Structure 1
Amino acid sequence: MIKRWTILPIAALSALAAFAGAAQARESLGLYGTWGAFRDPLVPRCYAIAMALPSTLRRDYQPYAAIGTWPKRAARNQVHFRLSRKLAEGTKIVLRIGRERIELTGGGGDAWPKDDHDNAAIIAAMRSATRMTVYARGETGGRFSNTWPLAGAASAMDAAAIGCAQLR
């Protein structure tokens, strides 16, 4: 039985990929659970991406998590979160993933790991955890969170890495 929260992110990813594909010549490398993998040979870059679980709460942005690879920059598996709200100045941003609790850095509506060590820890935890949640305080003062199921994340990350293996 397919659950509603599974169909919505896949539909959103498909719509995003269709629009992005027409506008930027991005290629789909596949859908894996709630995660998709894409290649943009013009940049070149590849990435795994997923939309956060739906919410009825106010959102400033459509939240997503992405893991990108840029072969020309020698950057691989770089974690990025687009959060649902604009962040309060100086807010503490925390990612809970499995048993890990990692403090992130960020601004505006974006967050990312503080350093390569935290980035690697997030990638490793994504391969075995079932979900991840980012917690922060919005610019209007209220706390908020965004959650991503991780079923398919490892496969999407692998597809993105393979998709960029020949792009230089």
Structure 2
Amino acid sequence: MIALALLLLVLPRDALGTYGSWGAFRDPSPLRCFAIAEPVERNRRGQPFASIANWPGQGIRNQLHIRLSRARAANARVTLAIGERRFELRAGDADAWAPDSRTDAAVVAAMREGRSMSVETIAANGAAFADSYALKGAATAIDAAALGCAGR
């Protein structure tokens, strides 16, 4: 969380709070509010994260975005696991998203009840990998982000 916090300090944004391993922030232009966390294992390459964002100007609420710790293989599926729930995500080279707003809502509901989540796929080199996240504080950070953009 320290590296992510340092990166976020460089950019103009308002800190809304830190809750467990999750932080909540507001960017003024374009307006967006988001909850964000780094994977539990900190020695990952790149700057992986999981975030849930609100974009009031686009009418988007609780949108999932995952930055993977490695580039994935071209045809590899990306699966988000929270407890017994599994969600197949849409993915680019190193980013993944829920395929639609209904899945975003289901992911956030599962996050509220879960203790941890993992994002699993196959790296470009053919090795399987997973990025794991603690969910303690996630619900509160998601709520803080939603309130940060409420009425705007």
TM over 0.5: yes
Q: Which residue of 2 aligns with 1:166?
A: 151
Matched, 1:111 2:89: no
Task: Give the secondary-structure state (helix, strand or coil) at the position aligned to 2:113.
Answer: coil
Taking only the aligned residue pairs, the percentage that are identical comes to 45
Unpaired runs of at least 5, structure 2: none
Matched, 1:128 2:113: yes
Q: Which amino acid aligns with 2:5?
A: S
Unpaired runs of at least 5, structure 1: 1-8
Give the TM-score normalised by the residue count of structure 2: 0.95
- Whole-angstrom CA distance in 2 between matches of 1:76 and 1:16: 24
Indicate which of 12, 18, 32 corresponds to 1:31.
Answer: 18
Give the TM-score normalised by the residue count of structure 1: 0.86
Q: Which residue of 2 aligns with 1:4?
A: none
Matched, 1:53 2:44: no
Contact 1:32–1:153 (8 Å) recurs in 2: yes
- Whole-angstrom CA distance in 1 between matches of 2:148 and 2:89: 28
Q: Which amino acid aligns with 1:16?
A: L
Q: Which residue of 2 aligns with 1:97?
A: 82
- Whole-angstrom CA distance in 1 between matches of 2:88 and 2:70: 17
How many angstroms does 1:62 deviate by? 1.6
Q: Which amino acid aligns with 2:59?
A: A
Matched, 1:138 2:130: no
Q: Which residue of 1 aligns with 2:140?
A: 155
RMSD: 1.2
Q: Which residue of 2 aligns with 1:6?
A: none
- Whole-angstrom CA distance in 1 between matches of 2:69 and 2:87: 19
Contact 1:13–1:36 (8 Å) recurs in 2: no
Indicate which of 30, 47, 69 corresponds to 1:43.
Answer: 30
Q: Which residue of 2 aligns with 1:17?
A: 8
How many angstroms does 1:55 deviate by? 4.7
Rg (Cα) greater in structure = 1
Q: Which residue of 2 aligns with 1:3?
A: none
What are the Cα deviations for residues 91-150 of structure 1, in whole angstroms up to 9, with x where unaligned?
Answer: 011111011011111011001112222211101000010000010001111111100000
